[in-house]
Amino acid sequence: MEEVIVSAIVGEVLSRSITFLIKTCSKSKRTEPPPPMPSEPEESLDRLARLLLRIGAIVEDAEGRQITNQAMLQQLNTLRHELQRGHFTLDALRCHAHDERHQSPADHDPAGRVSFTLSRFNPAKRICVCSSRGDEMDLRRVVASLEASVQGAAEFILLSGRYPPRLARQPYSMYLLVDNCMFGRQMEMERVIGFLLRGADDPGAEHLGVLPVVGCASVGKSTLVEHACIDERARNHFSKIVLLGGGDLVILDKDMEALADGAGVIKHENDSGESGGGRVLIIVDPDKDISDDFWRRFCSAVKNRFAHGSKIIVTSRSDKIVKFGTTLPLRLQFLTREAYWYFFKARAFGSVDVAMENPKLASIAMEMATEMNGCFMCTTIFGGMLRSRLDLGTWSMTLATYREFKQRNRIAFKQRDNFNCHPNLVDPWTLSSPILLPTVNKVSPGYFVVVNHYQTAPGIGDRAAPMVSVQDVIFGSARPQGKFAALAWRSHIPPYHNYVFSCEQRMPSVSTVSRKKIIPKVPM
């Protein structure tokens, strides 16, 4: 009897203990806060990152194929633009999110919100996440546009896969890709090739085709034409490719017979007499305006001396050459803001996702890209030398130095040059000489100016290229004196020019000072 009573008591105690434990655990689970759910902007950012991976794979595969169809090239160009805009938006968002996390409470908006607007002045601070649904429309719009592009790319992927791959595959390193490939001109390149090959077997086509290529200085006219000249399709189509510069045009103006006597520089000549059918491609690169009378006599001489289907490409900064064309002109524009950031980031950081790994550095880099405003010269000079200096101090100091460089040159030339655009859009390298060189570390007395700049050809340039680089002068690793030549950069793509600055070290003749800062006066 006693055993039965003890067993009942033990069972009751165990039952109540188990019930108590179950209730306690259930209560603790109810009181624990649920795991944080990602906010809608964060989800949009994740979707944006995944979409960029997908569309990047599509663009990379298509760029590695010999696509000739103009409609497909237009679609590829649209996909490329969406890719660049998406990367720009993602990087700017990450930079701002980092800035917001490290911002002091006094710097926050008193309303407790920040805008999500694309500012026109500072991309590193222009895109922000906000609690308002209306302020997230820009991010949603970018994501929706990318999703529509990916969904509509199925037919493009199918058709592009039918084109053969290019013989020269793109390098794995993004540094090498940007250094050794023409960036962002595939559509323009195929248009030039299409013009060159058009009408070869059509007796009704014009005897002589003329394509005007118009664009600002340093926009890439010579680079584009040079790439067309080395394309195997063009080389197999023409018996000879000739470049006529300003000096050659002066000689031809006096005697058109010089056209048959080897005027100009022969860029390519087929060994086989049958290859090219006697057709000639002539590249005209004038250093001044061409008169209507000269052009009429020049075209007549070309028609009389060379076979049907010969072509002329004429390049200029002026729209006056448009009237010489037998087809619509090709107008080259500078890269868009998004495309330039894509180029600058690849030039400076390669394949590293700097906005993810070091958002503060990415923020400074975006500000620097904005200051450079699409200038290839600035990207090659500063992006190349900052590639190996990824510390915040060096980048911040270089950004401040470049801003001062732009400001001082604007002050020096404000009475000499008439700017037709906003001063912030003026490229200092295009100003009339002398140009004040920026210096990060003051290691020499006085200051340095660029009095002239020129290009050297590949063969001569390798021997004549100066030992001192502009980067050495800017960072103070070289201490030149008097007059000297400095290598700005050496192009790794055709036409492989060396860009050289003729520089001088000068001492301030007049010191105009606020109270602390001495600004050398440049003679007008």
pLDDT at 128: 44
Sign of CA dihedral 239, 165, 338, 411: negative
Q: For every residue of 62-107, which 3-state class applies, written as one string?
A: HHCECCCCHHHHHHHHHHHHHHHHHHHHHHHHHHHHHHHHCCCHHH
Pick the residue with more confidence: 159 or 33?
A: 159
Amino acid at residue number 458: P
Beta bridge partners of 512: 519
C-beta neighbour count of 257 within 10 angstroms:
11
The predicted-structure confidence for 126-135, as pLDDT tens digits, reads as follows 444 443 454 4
- What percent of the chain shows pLDDT beyond 90? 18
Looking at the chain, the domain(s) classified CATH 3.40.50.300 span: 186-332
* Contact predicate 471/437, CB 8 Å: no
- Segment 226-231 mean pLDDT: 88
Q: CA angle, corner 66, sides to 62 and 71, nearest 5?
A: 70
Amino acid at residue number 198: R
Q: Would you call 418 helix, strand, or coil by DSSP? A: coil
- What percent of the chain shows pLDDT beyond 70? 69
Q: Which CATH superfamily is domain 186-332 in?
A: P-loop containing nucleotide triphosphate hydrolases (3.40.50.300)
- 393 contact partners, CB below 8 Å, separation of at least 6: none
* The two three-digit tokens of residue 185, written as one number: 């001109």
DSSP string, 357-400: H-HHHHHHHHHHHHHHTT-HHHIIIIIHHHTT---HHHHHHHHH
pLDDT at 135: 41
| Helix H or strand E segment including 7 | helix 2-31
Phi, psi of 513 (to 5 degrees): -125, 140
DSSP string, 305-336: HS-TTEEEEEEESSGGGGGG-SS--EE--PPP
442-446 contact pairs (CB < 8 A, 24+): 442/476, 443/476, 443/479, 444/476, 444/479, 444/480, 444/481, 444/505, 445/507, 446/505, 446/506, 446/507, 446/508, 446/520
Pick the residue with more confidence: 317 or 373?
A: 317
pLDDT at 292: 94
Summary mean pLDDT of the chain: 76
pLDDT at 311: 95
| Helix H or strand E segment including 456 | strand 447-456
Pick the range with the lowest mean pLDDT from 103-112, 330-339, 349-358, 494-503.
Answer: 103-112
| Helix H or strand E segment including 409 | helix 392-413
pLDDT score of 177 more than 50: no
The predicted-structure confidence for 348-371, as pLDDT tens digits, reads as follows 888 788 888 888 999 999 999 888
> What are the b/e assignments for 350-380, b being 16+ CB within 10 Å?
eebebbeebbbbbbbbbbbbbbbbbbbbbbb
C-beta neighbour count of 18 within 10 angstroms:
10
Question: Does the pTM of the predicted model rise above 0.85?
Answer: no
pLDDT score of 330 more than 70: yes
- The rounded radius of gyration (Å) of the Cα atoms in the chain is 31
- Segment 30-57 mean pLDDT: 72
pLDDT at 400: 87
